[in-house]
Structure 1
Amino acid sequence: MHPPAPGHPVTASVLITNSSDDLLIVHPNKGDAAPWQLPGGIVEQGESPLDAARRESREELGLNLDIQVFDLFAIEWLQATREDSRDRLAFLFAGPVLEPEDTVLITLQHDELDAWRWADRTEAKTMLHPAIAARIVGPLQTPGSPVYRETRHEGAL
């Protein structure tokens, strides 16, 4: 058996807003101290980041979101922070603007998430992990041109 190929794990997340430009954030089912997150997760083998964003939205929220290639909002390379982890690539897609009638359709995947809520930009930045909060710059409802970012850590591995 061969060791795993070197490379970067890949994640895909979705920025979902309402008409007030509030951001939909989710809380992982890992205790109260866990930071809030954006809907999304790991891109599986043989799956594109776009397909992963659609799948994760469906699994985590019970929503079939019409996310398209042109909805790519940002790509970020994140340097590993621990010896036992690897650098990672994160794809962020701009999701739809949800209306109040859409939110009644949200059904959480309770083995992964215990809550969802709307948060304005200032509130979201205090509730999300700092690396995630740093990605939500500029208008959230119109992706425009994708942004590439790198997150490096002082004195990292």
Structure 2
Amino acid sequence: MNPSPPRQCAAVVLTNERGEVLLVRQAYGGQFWGLPGGVVDPGETPLGAAVREAREEVGAEVALEGVVGVYLLQGGGWPDIQAYVFAGRVVAGEPTLAAPEELSALAWCPLGRWPSPLVPDALAAWEDLRAGRRGAVRTVQRHLTLPGAVTLG
């Protein structure tokens, strides 16, 4: 029997004219900070999910401009997740809190001066952007325990 593929999520790195990155804070669980994004729905592509999630979460239309990285997130007591992080830009609308049931805050932050706690895919994307890498494909070990996680062992 083959194991099922990991769940997929997609996010987008949006920057403004000052080079700041848009971060959003979850209104649930550990209230982690991260990039606009979420789960890839059945029948949806990661690209489509990143655009849809940005629209739903921050009320802006975005254009994707490349791949920052594809990360297999492992550990932390949660199942593996395949995370797709894209670079993008706002093409219509001004980012606002469009999903207050999901998000409690948004902030434009200088690259690398991000609030904590930060979700693992956003941290991995920041590391790759800081190192000048685009299109990274790698496994990322979670070094935090997500709320509701089951500790094994």
> Does structure 1 residue 121 correspond to structure 2 residue 116?
no
Q: Which amino acid aligns with 2:51?
A: R
1:13 aligns to what SS in structure 2? strand
The alignment's TM-score, normalised by the length of structure 1, stands at 0.76
CA spacing shift, 1:41–1:122, aligned 2, 3 Å: same
Bigger helix share: 1
Partner residue of 2:62? 65
Partner residue of 2:16? 18
Deviation at 1:30, TM superposition (A): 2.2
Please list the CA deviations of residues 17-37 of structure 1 after superposition, one character each: whole Å capped at 9, or x if unmatched. 111111100011127x52211
CA spacing shift, 1:18–1:9, aligned 2, 3 Å: same
1:57 aligns to what SS in structure 2? helix
Runs of 4+ in 1 over 6 A off after TM superposition: none
Separation in 2, partners of 1:30, 1:36: 11
Bigger strand share: 2
CA spacing shift, 1:153–1:15, aligned 2, 3 Å: closer
The alignment's TM-score, normalised by the length of structure 2, stands at 0.78
In structure 2, list runs of 5 or more residues that go unmatched: 144-151
Please list the CA deviations of residues 60-86 of structure 1 after superposition, one character each: whole Å capped at 9, or x if unmatched. 111111225xx121000111321xx32
In structure 1, list runs of 5 or more residues that go unmatched: none
Identical-pair percentage: 28
The answer to whether the 8 A contact 1:75-1:89 is kept is yes
User: What aligned pairs does 1:34-113 form with structure 2 within 5 A after superposition?
Assistant: 34-67=31-64, 71-82=66-77, 85-96=78-89, 98=90, 102-103=93-94, 106-113=96-103
CA spacing shift, 1:88–1:63, aligned 2, 3 Å: same
Say which one has the larger Rg: 1
Deviation at 1:107, TM superposition (A): 4.4
Please list the CA deviations of residues 92-125 of structure 1 after superposition, one character each: whole Å capped at 9, or x if unmatched. 00011x59x953x534211111211111123216
Work out the number of aligned pairs and report it. 142
The answer to whether the 8 A contact 2:10-2:46 is kept is yes
Deviation at 1:130, TM superposition (A): 4.9
